[in-house]
Structure 1
Amino acid sequence: MAKNSSNMHLKLKVIGFFLVAFVLVSCDSNKVFDQYIEVENANWKKENVAKFSVNIDDTTNAHNLYINIRNRGDYAYSNLYLFVKIEGPDGNFSVDTVNCTLADKSGKWLGKGIGDLFDYNVPYIGGFKFAKAGTYNFSLEQAMRVENGLEGISDVGLRIEKLDK
């Protein structure tokens, strides 16, 4: 009798595991690309440009592009200015200046936090359609006017999601 009870308990655990895994995978089914690059010593220097190469096959659906930022609680500013460059497979490129708001006026961090780290998915471009299939190169360069780097920025990244029709 005890053996049947432990078998049933094991089966329930396995079923629970697969249900959780299924939910996690299906919640992110629109993800095309999602990657962070760690900033050395959590001090983002101007010359350390974060670069991402993304192979794009889908030119018919629109996509949302996000800039991912992870900062520590000791980051000294409430925002982060970036130069964002997108270079297409044909060599054409665009450069934008983006202001990422990280804290409110009272200094409260707006990102999702665990301990002393805060994550942000900053909307960059919504409804973007890639003109051609191929490799797109994205670069994120910090554009703050500081001499010795941005202390407290630990990771930067890029996320691309396919829009639901």
Structure 2
Amino acid sequence: MKALTAILLSGLLCVACTGNKVYDHYNHTPIGGWEKIDTLKFDVSPLKKSGLYATSMGLRINNAFPFISMTLIVEQTVLPANKTVIDTINCPLVDKNGRVKGKGVGFYQYHFPVSLMTLHENDSLHITVRHDMKREILPGVSDVGIELERKK
């Protein structure tokens, strides 16, 4: 019984630790396909500490996605300064040998760095993500996520 209690307690401690991650959220895309005009929105609450923050993007796709890469536009507005930074992220999904670079079976998980920025205490972020592909509607994209982590 003591061993079981110790294992459960250890598991809870591991789950509770998020390190320096201050935001991690995924938005679903429409099941019929992600349209170019469907902008995904993420709002980060005011930060408790100033510092250098890394923004990264998570992507979940399935076998219905017809391309080997994807181009996404990530727009970050820092509030209250109202300063906007726009990044174009090229996301390679398949290597030169045709192997999927993501993790998973059926659905593949990818993680791409977006930017590093210095943010101040009480700054908040409004982040939008949209695709910049020639095809208007992208099938096979399940979820897009944003993660913000304090580096120092």
1:64 CA drift (Å): 1.3
Moved over 4 A (4+): none
Closer/same/farther in 2, CA of residues 145 and 18 from structure 1, 3 Å limit:
same
1:150 aligns with 2:138: yes
More strand by share: 2
Q: What residue in structure 2 maps to residue 6 of structure 1?
A: none
More helix by share: 1
TM superposition score normalised by structure 2 = 0.90
Measured against aligned partners, the alpha-carbon deviations of 1:49-87 in whole angstroms (never above 9, x if no partner) come to: 110011232453211110110001231111110111111
Aligned pairs (5 A) from 1:131-150: 131=120, 133-147=122-136, 149-150=137-138
- What percentage of residue pairs aligned between the two structures are identical? 25
Say which one has the larger Rg. 1
Residue correspondences, number: 151
1:50 aligns with 2:40: yes
Closer/same/farther in 2, CA of residues 116 and 42 from structure 1, 3 Å limit:
farther
TM superposition score normalised by structure 1 = 0.83
Measured against aligned partners, the alpha-carbon deviations of 1:78-136 in whole angstroms (never above 9, x if no partner) come to: 111011111121222122211111111122111121x301111111114x211563321
5+ long unaligned stretches in structure 1 = 1-9
Aligned pairs (5 A) from 1:1-165: 10-26=1-17, 28-41=18-31, 43-58=33-48, 60-89=50-79, 90-113=81-104, 115-126=105-116, 128-131=117-120, 133-147=122-136, 149-163=137-151, 165=152
Q: CA RMSD in A?
A: 1.7
CA distance in 1, matches of 2:139, 2:12: 36
